[in-house]
Structure 1
Amino acid sequence: MKKILIFCLAATFFINFKSWAKDPYVDINTTMCEKGEDIYISCAFNTSLDQYDYVGKVASICAKSNTSPDSGYVQYRFGKPSYGVGPAIVEMQYPEQKIPPKEIFTIYNSRNSEISGAALRFTKGKYLYSFERLNSFSYKVVARKQGEKVFNKDCNLPGKNYLTDDAYRGIQTIELGQTEISDTDD
Structure 2
Amino acid sequence: MNTECDLIVLARAIYFAGLILFGVSAEAEEITLCQPHEEVYFSCASEGKLISVCASGNISPDNGYVQYRFGRVDEIELEFPKKPYPPRRWFSISDISEGNITFTHLKFNFGKYNYVLYQGSPSGIYIKRNGKLISNRTCDPGDYQPISPRALRGIKTVAPIDGIDN
The TM-score bracket by the shorter chain reads 0.7 to 0.9
Residue number in structure 1 paired with 2:29: 27
Alpha-carbon shift at residue 27 of structure 1 (Å): 2.9
Residue number in structure 1 paired with 2:125: 141
> What amino acid is the match of 1:76?
Y
TM-score by length of 2: 0.73
Q: How does 1:43-122 map to 2 (within 5 A)?
A: 43-46=44-47, 56-81=48-73, 88-111=74-97, 113-122=99-108
SS at match of 2:35: coil
CA–CA distance in structure 1, aligned partners of residues 43 and 99 of structure 2:
29
Structure 2 unmatched runs, 5+: 1-26
Change (3 A) 1:75 1:169: same
Ranked by relative contact order (alpha carbons within 8 Å, sequence separation 6 or more), the top structure is 1
Give the conservation status (yes or no) of the 8 Å contact 1:26–1:159: no
CA–CA distance in structure 1, aligned partners of residues 133 and 80 of structure 2:
19
Bigger Rg over Cα: 2
Kindly report the root-mean-square deviation, in angstroms, between the aligned alpha carbons of the 2 structures. 2.4
Change (3 A) 1:169 1:26: farther
Alpha-carbon shift at residue 138 of structure 1 (Å): 2.9
Change (3 A) 1:184 1:68: farther
Structure 1 unmatched runs, 5+: 1-24, 47-55, 82-87
SS at match of 1:102: helix
Alpha-carbon shift at residue 146 of structure 1 (Å): 1.4
CA–CA distance in structure 1, aligned partners of residues 54 and 123 of structure 2:
17
Alpha-carbon shift at residue 72 of structure 1 (Å): 0.4
TM-score by length of 1: 0.66
CA–CA distance in structure 2, aligned partners of residues 114 and 158 of structure 1:
22
Aligned positions, number: 139
Give the conservation status (yes or no) of the 8 Å contact 2:121–2:144: no
CA–CA distance in structure 2, aligned partners of residues 102 and 91 of structure 1:
23
Q: How does 1:148-163 map to 2 (within 5 A)?
A: 148-156=132-140, 161-163=145-147
Give the conservation status (yes or no) of the 8 Å contact 1:44–1:158: no
Residue number in structure 2 paired with 1:185: 164
Give the conservation status (yes or no) of the 8 Å contact 1:41–1:160: no
